[in-house]
Every structure is written in C-alpha cells, then in structure tokens.
C-alpha cells in the first residue's frame, strides 16, 4: 500500500509541476501577484505526503496531513483548478500551510525541513502564505477552509 501511495504521489507531483510550469510559460506576460505561491504547490504537496509517512509525526497530525492531501487531489474544492487553472491551487496551498503550521508546532521543525524539496525556506513560506491567505482567497473562503481543518 505504501508503494502504491508512493507511485500515486509521484505521478500527481509530476503532473502538478508540469501543469503549473506549462501554465506559467503560456502566461509569461501575466502579472499575477500570487505566482510565487502557486509555484510552491508541487513541493507543498510532496511535503504533505512525506510527513504523512514519517514515523516521527504523531498519528493525530498524520490525520490532518492526509486530509490536506485529499483536498489537494480532489477536483471538488472551493477554488476548482478545472475552471481557474493554477489559480485554483491557492486554496490547496493555504490549507497545506495551515496544516503544516499545526504540525511544525508539535514536532521538531527540522523534520519538516528534511522533507522539503523546495529551494526556499519552508517555515518562511508557511508564515508568508498564512499571512496572505485572507487576501488570496477572501476572508469568507479562508474562514470556511480553516473550519474544515
């Protein structure tokens, strides 16, 4: 089962990265202020999966991580990628940051850094996303999402 999850995770990760890169290359003139956040989506998804499989993460946090993973891959969410393209990942990224912040407050932050595949500092990214979530999503959507997690 873990091997299956690993393959599914890698397939989704690669597709997500490919979709976002393709969108960014087609929209080079687009001045989207959330572009840097959107580019974090594949690495945030990867981190959620890696932490959910790490034995050092408490079961209660793994449940939240799994919920965030399910939200990421679900086509039915508050900002659907099907209609919005990569802008639809802003809610997924915000939920990931919200859940990761909860995890970081319970485990050694070094464990989170250990699994982070991105180039920038994950702890800074989490704080930055959370600080901007209201503006990215609108306060009503952000409030609804936080209640789910």
Q: How confident is the model at residue 43 (pLDDT cuts 50, 70, 90)?
A: very high
* Comparison of pLDDT for 39 and 23, the residue scoring more: 39
Place of tokens 């039915």: 76
For the chain, percent of residues with pLDDT exceeding 70: 89
How many angstroms separate the Cα of 131 from the Cα of each of 101, 118, 124? 12, 20, 10
Per-residue pLDDT, 93: 96
For every residue of the chain, DSSP letters joined together read: -HHHHHHHHHHHHHHHHHHHHHHHHHTTT---TTHHHHTTHHHHHHHHHHHHT-TTS-HHHHHHHHHHHHHHH-S-SSS-HHHHGGGGHHHHHHHHHHHHHHHHTTS-HHHHHHH--SSS-HHHHHHHHHHHHHHHH-HHHHHHHHHH-
- The model's confidence at residue 4, banded by pLDDT at 50, 70 and 90, is very low
Give the pLDDT confidence of 77-100 residue by residue, as tens digits. Answer: 887 777 777 888 899 999 999 999
Instruction: With a cut of 80, say whether residue 29 has pLDDT above it.
Output: no
Q: What is the mean pLDDT of the chain?
A: 86
pLDDT in tens, 103-123: 999 999 999 999 999 889 999
Output the pLDDT for position 31.
56
**pLDDT of res. 109:** 96
Neighbouring C-beta atoms of residue 47, cutoff 10 Å: 26
CA of residue 129 relative to chain centroid, distance: 10
* Residues 69 and 48 sit within 8 Å (Cβ to Cβ): yes
Q: Could you state, in order of their start, the residue ranges of all structural domains in the chain? A: 2-26+34-148
pTM beyond 0.75: the answer is yes
Distances (CA, A) of 88 to 11, 124, 129: 19, 22, 15
């Amino acid at each position: 089962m873990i091997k299956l999850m690993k393959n599914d995770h890698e397939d989704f990760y690669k597709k997500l990265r490919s979709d976002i890169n393709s969108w960014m290359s087609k929209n080079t003139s687009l001045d989207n202020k959330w572009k840097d956040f959107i580019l974090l989506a594949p690495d945030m998804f990867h981190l959620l999966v890696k932490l959910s499989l790490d034995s050092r993460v408490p079961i209660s946090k793994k449940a939240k991580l799994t919920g965030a993973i399910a939200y990421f891959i679900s086509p039915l969410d508050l900002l659907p990628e099907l209609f919005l393209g990569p802008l639809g990942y802003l809610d997924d990224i915000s939920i990931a940051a919200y859940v990761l912040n909860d995890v970081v407050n319970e485990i050694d932050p070094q464990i989170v850094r250990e699994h982070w595949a991105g180039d920038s500092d994950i702890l800074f990214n989490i704080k930055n996303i959370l600080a901007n979530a209201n503006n990215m999503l609108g306060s009503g959507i952000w409030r609804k999402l936080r209640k789910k997690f």
